Amino acid sequence: MDKPTPKDKPPKKAAPRKAPAKRTPRIPYTRAEIEEIFRRFSIQRPEPKGELAHVNPFTLVVAVALSAQATDAGVNKATKDLFRVADTPQKMLALGEERVREYIRTIGLYRNKAKNVIALSRKLVEDFGGEVPRSLEELVTLPGVGRKTANVVMSMAFGIPTLAVDTHIFRIGNRLRIAPGKTPDEVEAAFMRIIPDHWLYHAHHWLILHGRYCCKARKPECERCVIADLCKSKEKTTDIPAPLVELPAQVIG
């Protein structure tokens, strides 16, 4: 008897269609390389700190909310006197929008920001007993507080490891092809997938400071970069890493 030809075979049942899986972009780094990148950052900046001055979680929320489209130094100059008179939501409410506006008038968009500072103080008093909440979901309900601000507050005020993606982190994720993404949320998710847990707490500051002082937006300073041999950026100009030493205080963060 002739063997059945493929034509004679009963038609296979079509496999049930699966929902298309969301693809995780492949990155050109091994786990060991990623570990090494963060190990080197940890030697350069053993204890990085945020540059926004604050005295408690409330003043941090205010400072971060004020820092949109403003420099940390500019915000610190304005908040120095403001926080002396109003370091709680209750005192901020008592101060009132007009006075807050006067304190922060050197910061861009100060009118709108003063409005938000008062509105978020009111919400904290009315809905959270005057305490800054610790969860992302609650933090983003505060006026003027987006996901990025909430992440910064969770990390800096409460030590909850998160990764707030700012312009520097977004650029590094894509330029190095280490955590690529079209939006800050995609880059955040990509970094959260690859950063080893034991480096996560400081990773936010390390990446920001690396972007601010070395892997700069217009022209990366690769000859000063401690990860030049590991970096897979098409823009890099050298493969030779800079000496791995702890940096002086002004670029620690």
| Interface with ligand SF4 (CB under 6 A) | 175-176, 214-215, 220-222, 225, 227-228, 231, 233, 235-236
Task: Specify the residue, 92 or 176, whose C-beta has the smaller distance to ligand SF4.
Answer: 176
| Closer residue to ligand SF4 in complex, CB, 148/175 | 175
**E-only strand ranges, the chain:** none
239 counts as catalytic: no
Instruction: Spell out the residues 6+ positions from residue 235 whose beta carbon is closer than 8 angstroms to its own.
Output: 175, 220
In angstroms, what is the minimal distance from the CB of 173 to ligand SF4? 11
Question: Cα(133)–Cα(126) distance, rounded to whole angstroms?
Answer: 13
Of 2, 77, 166, 216, which residue is the catalytic one? 166
Count other C-beta atoms under 10 Å from residue 87's C-beta. 17
Q: How far is the CB of 223 from ligand SF4 (least distance, A)?
A: 8
Residue closer to ligand SF4 (CB basis): 18 or 218: 218
Task: Specify the residue for token string 């990509």.
Answer: 190
How far apart are CB 233 and ligand SF4 at their closest, in Å?
Answer: 4
Report, in Å, the least distance between residue 244 CB and ligand SF4: 13
Task: Find how far residue 2's CA is from the centre of its chain.
Answer: 68
Q: Locate tokens 């990148």: which residue?
A: 37
Query: Residue 113 or residue 236: which is nearer to ligand SF4 going by CB?
Result: 236
CA distances, 225 to each of 155, 217, 218 (Å): 26, 14, 15
Q: How far apart are CA 232 and CA 29, in angstroms?
A: 8
**236 belongs to the catalytic site:** no
Q: Quote the CA–CA distance of 152 and 161 in Å, as a whole number.
A: 9
Catalytic residues: 148, 166
